[in-house]
């Protein structure tokens, strides 16, 4: 689960990190009042659960309360990467000398949490990692020993920080690690961590990703959930007990089992296609669940064909085939489907599908090939 920047920075503040003392507004009038209370120049920032707000025009400076209200009126209601801005954060503006990047993230391959830091902050760290890999400092933390003082120095030297800043930098890194552990976070990020013109450090932006599996013991954080964190399709899927992830391709995937869904996506790519989604209907696969899954897949206008890949175990293939027919019958769609069913009662299943003129394929490779061809209109 993601939380907003203002929530992340308030949490960081509790761990001793220097953060701006702004507040959130849902209207230009509120923005004006907050700016008047703060005094001086302010920055008006869109609160949406996506990055790159600055580039999208969602971060603007204002010299007085009137301008803050004007900028808030422009930003509120704006669409940033599919998210509508409902709240803006009004922070006191600061004079920046340099922007750094600092985060702690889980590295599954290293089985450690890893500090990632760069003196090239402010912009996309992914881009820096590709174009200037030497500008990215990585230090792994042993979970039993925790963050060690020498590691703070390692990062500070790696960033080329002025030695006068090492002590306050270490305090920030320690606070960030404490927050990361205490909040059950999978990511804590400050981009930019700025060196102000007066020489001090400040966390100007904040991002926290929380481990969904730990939310049961983080009631305060769980209550921060913003329903706009998920798309309508993702919400519908979660409520129906389906695992659904929206992707960028043109071939819908309906699969029973997460591993099988991953394999199906790989084979689609091998055949030159791109999956439009990951969808695991799980075990059982009753007709109503299949239909729900199909509705979610077909609601995505980019879907040009659908690959249905079913492995009948305890679930009988013929039952699933009947479910698929019922669902397609109810949906009235022109989008072509290809079905591959193996396992229990697969032969019966193929008979049912064939008699309804639904294309089936004996192997996953063949099914993927047909789905890719259908999506290309061949
Ligand atoms: P993001 O684009 O969504 O990551 O939003 P950020 O909070 O990181 O803001 C984007 C950029 O706006 C920062 O990298 C800064 O360059 C700039 N910015 C944010 N706050 C201030 C401020 O108080 N003063 C100045 N001068 N620039 C700011
Ligand atoms: Mn940022």
- pLDDT tens digits, one per residue of 263-308: 999 999 999 999 999 999 887 656 778 888 999 999 889 999 999 9
Mean pLDDT score, 320-325? 84
Mean pLDDT score, 110-138? 89
Has residue 32 got a pLDDT over 90?
yes
Reported as type and span, the H/E element at residue 106 is strand 96-107
Instruction: Please name which of 346, 282, 292 lies closest in space to residue 317, comparing C-alpha atoms.
Output: 346
Instruction: Centre a 10 Å sphere on the Cβ of residue 230 and count the other Cβ atoms it contains.
Output: 18
Least confident of 105-114, 224-233, 352-361: 224-233
Mean pLDDT score, 239-253? 90
Domain parsing of the chain, residue ranges: 21-92, 96-222, 231-375
Mean pLDDT score, 313-336? 84
Confirm if 101 and 172 have CB atoms less than 8 A apart: no
Active site residue 177: no
Which tokens in the block code for residue 225?
């959930």
State the chain's mean pLDDT as an integer.
93
Closest-CA residue, ligand 1 atom 12, reads 54
Alpha-carbon gap, residue 12 to 172, rounded angstroms: 9
Confirm if 291 and 325 have CB atoms less than 8 A apart: no
Tell me the torsion sign for CA atoms 159, 161, 166, 169.
negative
Q: Which residue has the higher pLDDT, 324 or 179?
A: 179
Separation of CA 106 and ligand 1 centre (Å): 25
What is the atom index within ligand 1 of the atom nearest the CA of 56?
A: 2
- pLDDT score of 53: 92
Least confident of 43-47, 215-219, 358-362: 358-362
Separation of CA 174 and ligand 2 centre (Å): 20
What is the atom index within ligand 1 of the atom nearest the CA of 95?
A: 26
Q: Give the active site residue among 5, 30, 99, 189.
A: 189
Q: What is the DSSP string of 253-288?
A: EEESSHHHHHHHHHHHHHTT--BSEEEE--SS--HH
Domain boundaries 21-92, CATH class: alpha beta
Has residue 72 got a pLDDT over 60?
yes
> Which ligand is the nearest neighbour of the Cα of 56?
1
Has residue 311 got a pLDDT over 80?
yes
- pLDDT score of 272: 96
CA distance readout (Å), 338 to 50, 219, 302: 35, 44, 17
Protein residues with CB under 6 Å of any ligand 1 atom: 43, 45, 51-54, 59, 93-94, 96, 99, 122, 191-192, 204-205
Q: Which residue has the higher pLDDT, 288 or 58?
A: 58
Has residue 34 got a pLDDT over 90?
yes
Share of residues in the chain with pLDDT > 90 (%): 72
- pLDDT score of 285: 57
Give the dihedral of Cα atoms 161, 166, 168, 171; nearest 10 deg: 120
Tell me 360's DSSP state.
Answer: B
- pLDDT score of 270: 97
CATH: 3.40.50.261, 2.60.120.1030, 3.40.50.300, 3.90.1150.10. Which one for 231-375? Answer: 3.40.50.261
- pLDDT score of 129: 84
Separation of CA 162 and ligand 2 centre (Å): 23
Active site residue 29: no
Confirm if 373 and 276 have CB atoms less than 8 A apart: no
Separation of CA 55 and ligand 2 centre (Å): 10
- Domain 96-222 fold: D-amino Acid Aminotransferase; Chain A, domain 1 (3.30.470)
Which tokens in the block code for residue 356?
């309804």
Give the dihedral of Cα atoms 262, 237, 299, 249; nearest 10 deg: -20
Alpha-carbon gap, residue 307 to 252, rounded angstroms: 6
CA distance readout (Å), 113 to 10, 51, 162, 185: 23, 22, 26, 11
Q: Give the active site residue among 6, 15, 101, 177.
A: 101
CA distance readout (Å), 156 to 140, 152, 159, 160: 14, 6, 5, 6
Has residue 364 got a pLDDT over 60?
yes
Q: What is the DSSP string of 283-332?
A: SS--HHHHHHHHHHHHTSTT--EEEEEEEESSS-HHHHHHHHHHHHHHH-
- pLDDT score of 81: 86
* 196-216: pLDDT as tens digits: 999 999 999 999 999 988 999
Instruction: Please name which of 262, 291, 296 lies closest in space to residue 278, comparing C-alpha atoms.
Output: 262
């Amino acid at each position: 689960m993601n939380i907003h920047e203002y929530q992340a920075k308030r949490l960081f503040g509790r761990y001793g990190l220097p953060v701006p003392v702004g507040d959130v507004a849902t209207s230009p009038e509120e923005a004006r009042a907050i700016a008047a209370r703060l005094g001086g120049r302010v920055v008006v920032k869109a609160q949406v659960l996506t990055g790159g707000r600055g580039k999208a025009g969602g971060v603007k400076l204002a010299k007085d309360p009137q301008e803050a209200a004007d900028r808030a009126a422009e930003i509120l209601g704006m669409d940033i990467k599919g998210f509508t801005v409902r709240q803006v954060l009004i922070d006191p503006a600061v004079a920046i000398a340099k922007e750094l990047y600092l985060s702690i993230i889980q590295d599954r391959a290293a089985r450690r949490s890893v500090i990632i830091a760069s003196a090239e902050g402010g912009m996309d760290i992914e881009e820096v990692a590709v174009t200037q890999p030497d500008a990215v400092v990585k230090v792994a933390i042993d979970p039993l020993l925790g963050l060690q003082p020498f590691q703070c120095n390692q990062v500070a030297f790696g960033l080329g920080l002025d030695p006068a800043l090492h002590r306050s930098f270490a305090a920030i890194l320690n606070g960030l690690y404490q927050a990361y552990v205490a909040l059950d976070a999978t990511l804590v990020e400050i981009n930019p961590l700025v060196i102000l013109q007066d020489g001090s450090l400040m966390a100007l932006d904040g991002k926290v990703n929380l481990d969904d599996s730990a939310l049961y013991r983080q009631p305060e954080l769980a209550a921060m959930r913003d329903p706009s964190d998920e798309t309508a399709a993702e919400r519908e899927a979660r409520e129906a007990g389906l695992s659904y992830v929206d992707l960028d391709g043109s071939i819908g995937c309906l699969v029973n089992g997460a591993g099988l869904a991953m394999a199906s996506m790989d084979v689609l790519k091998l055949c030159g296609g791109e999956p439009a989604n990951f969808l695991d209907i799980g075990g059982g696969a009753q007709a109503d669940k299949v239909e729900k899954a199909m509705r979610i897949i077909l609601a995505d206008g980019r879907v040009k064909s659908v690959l249905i890949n079913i492995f009948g175990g305890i679930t009988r293939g013929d039952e699933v085939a009947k479910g698929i027919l019922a669902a397609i019958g109810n949906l009235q769609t022109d989008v072509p489907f290809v079905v591959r069913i193996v396992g229990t009662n697969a032969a019966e299943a193929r008979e049912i599908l064939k008699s309804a003129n639904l294309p089936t394929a004996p192997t996953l490779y063949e099914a993927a090939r047909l789905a890719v061809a259908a999506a290309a209109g061949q």
